Amino acid sequence: MNPLESRIAFHIGPVPVTEPVVTTWAIMVVMVVGAAYLARRLTLVPPATQATLEGLVAAVDAQVREILRGEPAPYRGFVGTLFTFILLANWSSIIPGVDPPTAHVETDAALALLVFIAVIVYGIRVGGLRGYFRHFASPSVFMIPLNFVETISRSFSMLVRLFGNVMSGVVLIGVVASLARLFVPIPLMALDLLTGAIQAYIFAILAAVFISDAVSPETTKTTPKTEG
């Protein structure tokens, strides 16, 4: 099967719904239902599941605080959700017959687009419309075209990196499984899970770095919204 093609799961009228879309929505449902379920059962003495999630939140806060040099609360939800979704999407490959959505370019394009939009939204929220767009003229107005192209190209690079790494892992395991015995690909699957976690971490960190660039003092110092 061509890794650039998506198998159609079913149709809604004339509209085809592909398997990556079904898997993506299933992951989102699991995340929403799981978060709602766990939020209703928080205790002062956390059980193992709650302690694990609290550790994940603390790790996200630490990374965001280190990168953005400020309070992580405004960015925790986006960066943390981005990491969790990509992690679960990458790890969905362990389910027999399921291709991870992140092995398909349309999913990665959507994630990169979300980061692109989030950078703009956070930049405008912190520095105002004028303050955000002023940083494209740094260090001079002659840099506006290059800075604009850089903003687009770095989002595209995130797409290519995530798609290439996840898709290549899926293809490699599929090839080995077709040529070798049943248990031979298991070490490769373990390596694929590790790679999936690393790719989710890198994608989330890059998103935080790009947001940091948009809300940095150099970007927003000319506007009154950064005071107080």
Q: State pTM to two decimals.
A: 0.82
Q: Convert the pLDDT of each residue in 157-193 to its tens digit.
A: 888 888 888 877 776 666 666 666 555 566 777 777 8
Which pLDDT value is given to residue 222? 41
pLDDT at residue 199 above 60?
A: yes
Provide the residue ranges of all domains of the chain, joining segments of one domain with +.
8-226
Spatial CA neighbour of 107 closest among 25, 11, 222: 25
- Rounded Cα gap, residues 16 and 101, in angstroms: 16
pLDDT at residue 115 above 90?
A: yes
pLDDT at residue 25 above 90?
A: yes
pLDDT at residue 226 above 90?
A: no
CB 158 within 8 A of CB 210: no
Contacts of 22 (CB under 8 A, 6+ apart): 9
